[in-house]
């Protein structure tokens, strides 16, 4: 759930990037660091970016994006105490894709499972949520 969609003079209160956390951690982002190459100007944007996030309970997260790669590859990977969840092409809409679950034991991969998940129309959900925040200036439910 997004706690507040209203502009408060601070980027983190309304930008969707800072609202990824309720889906995975139910925690707030407390620190953001980034590197861009090349540095954006008034007429150009970066070609590669790296974003490091720190959550209030100490969990780190990172996002890497590059427009110079020869093809697009979108991967999400969540590393936990018992294993790793990962999915490729998770940003594409209206499809089913495998979620790979690798459970660890004694420092090695002990068991691999695969579960099929359904990805909804993400663009539609994003635009709907953003519009709702602007038009109603109320708490928006992301589920």
Are residues 81 and 32 both part of a single domain?
no
- Min mean pLDDT across 46-50, 100-104, 110-114, 122-126 is at 122-126
Are residues 118 and 59 both part of a single domain?
no
Of all residues in the chain, the percent with pLDDT exceeding 90 is: 16
Are residues 40 and 97 both part of a single domain?
no
What is the average pLDDT value for the chain, to the nearest integer?
Answer: 78
Are residues 39 and 10 both part of a single domain?
yes
pTM given for the model? 0.61
The owner of tokens 């590393």 is: 79
pLDDT at residue 142 greater than cutoff 90: no
Residues in the chain: 143
Are residues 92 and 113 both part of a single domain?
yes
pLDDT at residue 108 greater than cutoff 60: yes
Residues 127-140: tens digit of each pLDDT: 888 888 788 765 54
Q: Final residue of a domain: which of 19, 52, 71?
A: 71
Q: Final residue of a domain: which of 43, 71, 99?
A: 71
CB-based contact 85:100 (threshold 8 Å): yes
Give the domain extent around 47: 1-71
Q: Determine the Cα angle at 113 with ends 95 and 53, to 5°.
A: 70
Q: Regarding beta strands 95-105 and 83-88, do their DSSP bridges make them parallel or antiparallel, or are they unpaired? A: antiparallel
Are residues 137 and 80 both part of a single domain?
yes
């Amino acid at each position: 759930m997004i706690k507040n969609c209203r502009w408060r003079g601070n980027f983190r209160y309304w930008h969707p990037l800072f609202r990824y956390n309720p889906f995975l951690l139910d925690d707030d982002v407390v620190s953001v660091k980034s590197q861009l190459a090349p540095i954006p100007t008034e007429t150009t944007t970066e070609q590669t970016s790296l974003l490091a996030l720190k959550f209030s309970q100490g969990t780190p997260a990172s996002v890497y994006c590059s427009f110079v790669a020869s093809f697009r590859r979108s991967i999400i990977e969540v590393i936990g105490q018992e294993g790793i969840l990962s999915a490729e092409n998770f940003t594409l809409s209206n499809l089913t894709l495998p979620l790979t679950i690798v459970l660890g034991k004694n420092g090695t991969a002990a068991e691999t499972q695969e579960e099929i998940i359904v990805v909804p129309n993400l663009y539609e959900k994003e635009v709907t949520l953003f519009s709702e925040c602007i038009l109603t200036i109320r708490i928006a439910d992301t589920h």
